[in-house]
Amino acid sequence: MLRGVGLRPGWRVLDAGSGSGSFLPLIAEAVGPAGTIVGRRVTEWGLATPIEARVGSVLALPYADDPFDAVWCAATTQYLTDDDLTAALAEFRRVVRPGGLVALKDYDATVPRFLPAPANCLIHYYEVVARDGVTQYQGVLRTPALGCWLRRAGLADVRARTTLVERVAPLAPPGRQLWDDLLAYFAPVALRHALPAEERALWGRLADPAGRARLFDDPDFSCCEGHVVAVGTA
């Protein structure tokens, strides 16, 4: 997904909301040793690209105008209210030079599913929790419209693409661990909300590690998730 953004060798890139720094190697691959990366956390990757660490808020970036060729912001917009997203995009646009890129990547809660399970139970889960006012859930339901948000922020030549990640039984250990962690987190949240009886029964079973193990061991198990990358030009 990051490789499709259009980062170029020698560019100075801000990794806004960089978290654990897991995208740093791919950004470094794109900009090369002549480029520069600025992020919140520098991990021990042993990269040839210079990396600067800076703590700040995406709502008020600690930079003058136009010092970057691109901003990459992954798995962060979901935590912002609509007003905060408007402010963050104005900041991204401000710190990117004319002709530079602003790229957003986030999880799309209108896509995920797993089987065997009631139809659309994951999407329904996100919708119900979002209606109860949880910002992150509202944010991941907003993800398909990230391209529209870039246009409203004044970016040009906006393009967006959804990438599907599909897995089928038997899951490799990393995929199994990922989905076990997700469902272990989702299940108690789901049980605190008003869901149909069939879905509540499923989440009740998945709150138990043994229930999740039975799901993953089912030869009919499959799962799908979606991620959107939206890119605009300043």
Tens digit of pLDDT for each residue in 52-98? 988 999 999 999 999 999 999 999 999 999 999 999 999 999 999 99
Query: How confident is the model over 119-130, as a mean pLDDT?
Result: 93
Residue 155 dihedral angles phi and psi, to the nearest 5°: -80, 150
With 70 as the cut, is the pLDDT of residue 44 above it? no
Query: How confident is the model over 99-118, as a mean pLDDT?
Result: 96
* Structural contact between residues 202 and 187, judged by C-beta atoms closer than 8 angstroms: no
* Structural contact between residues 209 and 184, judged by C-beta atoms closer than 8 angstroms: yes
**Residue 78 per-residue DSSP state:** G
pLDDT for 59:
97
Total Cβ atoms within 10 A of residue 204: 14
With 80 as the cut, is the pLDDT of residue 42 above it? no
Residue 14 dihedral angles phi and psi, to the nearest 5°: -95, 120
The model carries a pTM of: 0.93
With 90 as the cut, is the pLDDT of residue 216 above it? yes
Sheet strands (E) in the chain: 12-15, 36-39, 51-53, 68-74, 96-115, 156-168, 222-233
Residue with tokens 């859930």: 137
Among residues 45, 139, 178, 175, the alpha carbon closest in space to that of 27 is found at: 45
pLDDT for 43:
58
| 3-state DSSP assignment of residue 160 | strand
Non-local CB neighbours of 134 within 8 Å, separated by 6+ positions:
none
Tens digit of pLDDT for each residue in 159-208? 999 999 999 999 999 999 999 999 999 999 999 998 999 999 999 999 99
Query: How confident is the model over 36-52, as a mean pLDDT?
Result: 81
How far is the C-alpha of 163 from the C-alpha of 197, rounded, in Å?
32
Average pLDDT, the chain: 95
Angle between helices 173-190 and 209-217 (to 10 degrees): 130
Q: Which domains does the chain have, with CATH numbers?
A: 2-108+134-164+226-233 (3.40.50.150)
* Structural contact between residues 122 and 189, judged by C-beta atoms closer than 8 angstroms: no
Tens digit of pLDDT for each residue in 8-30? 999 999 999 998 888 999 999 99
pLDDT for 39:
83
- pLDDT-derived band at 136 (thresholds 50, 70, 90) equals very high
With 80 as the cut, is the pLDDT of residue 41 above it? no
